[in-house]
Amino acid sequence: MVHVKKDWSSNMAIAQPQNNPDLLAGENPYEEKVVNIDRVARVVKGGRRFRFRALVVVGDKKGQVGIGVSKGADVTAAVSKATQVAKKNLHTIVIEDGTFPHEAQAKVSGANILIMPASPGTGLIAGGVVRIVLEVAGIQNALSKSIGSSNKINIAYATLEALKSVKPRSEWIVQPQRRVRTKKVEKVEAPKAEDKKPATEKKKAPAKKTATAKKTSKPATKKDKK
C-alpha cells in the first residue's frame, strides 16, 4: 500500500484571499508611508550596537489611520515591523465633507497639535508629520498648527489623539425639546367636624397679670416661739 501525502498548501493559498476582495485582486487597501528612520545605539560591554527605528503611518483614506514604531537590525526589518504594528492599531476618525466638524487640540509629551476644519478648496495647510497623517486618513481640507516640541513621533501621536477626539455633529448638537405645560389641579378637602367652631364664640382675652408682690416667709425665731 502506497501512502500518498496530501498537499494542503494549494488549498490554503486559494482559501486565504477569498475573505478579502482587495487581496484577491492583488491590491493593498492601506496606504503605507514611512515618516522617519533613525539610527539608534545601545551600549554593551564590547561597545555599541546600532539598530534602526522606523516610524510608519498606515491608512485607507476613508477614515482609518494607524501609527507604528518599531526597531530592526536593518531598515527593511524596521519598516516591516512598524507597518504591522500600525495595521494592528487602526483607529476610525470622523470625516465630513473632506474635513472634520470642529477643531481639536491634543498634547502628547512635549508635542501640542491644533487642527481646525477648512472650507472646500483650501487643501491641507500643514507640514511634516501632521500633513502625512491627515493625507493617509483621508482628510482633504484642514488647517493645523504645531505649538510644542518638534519630535516626530510625539507629533504623530498627538495628531492621532486630536483626530480621535473629534465627535460627529449628531453627538454635540442638542435639539431643543418642546415644553408641555400641564395644569396642576389641587384637591380641596372638606373641613372636619372637629375643626368647625361656632361663629358666635369669641376669643377670650388673656388675663392681665397683677402686680402684687409676693410675701416672703421668714424663718421663725426663738421670740416668736415664746
pLDDT (tens digit, 9 = 90+) per residue, 69-99? 999 999 999 999 999 999 999 999 999 888 9
Distances (CA, A) of 50 to 34, 35, 70, 71, 151: 20, 20, 14, 10, 21
Q: Are 68 and 84 in contact, with CB atoms under 8 Å apart?
A: yes
Stretch (H or E) spanning 164: helix 152-164
Higher pLDDT, 105 or 225: 105
Averaged over 96-108, what is the pLDDT? 91
pTM, full prediction:
0.64
**pLDDT of 17 strictly over 50:** no
Q: How many helices (H) and strands (E) does the chain have?
A: 7, 8
pLDDT (0 to 100) of residue 46: 87
Stated length of the chain? 226
Query: How far is Cα 39 from Cα 25, in angstroms, rounded to an integer?
Result: 37
**Cell numbers 482559501 label which residue?**
15
Q: Are 153 and 130 in contact, with CB atoms under 8 Å apart?
A: no
pLDDT (0 to 100) of residue 141: 93
Q: Are 104 and 165 in contact, with CB atoms under 8 Å apart?
A: yes
Residue type for position 194 = E
Stretch (H or E) spanning 134: helix 129-137
Higher pLDDT, 54 or 12: 54
Strands in 45-103 per DSSP E: 47-59, 64-72, 90-92
Helix, strand, coil share of the chain (percent; to 5): 25, 25, 50
Distances (CA, A) of 193 to 186, 197, 198, 204: 22, 9, 11, 22
**pLDDT of 172 strictly over 60:** yes
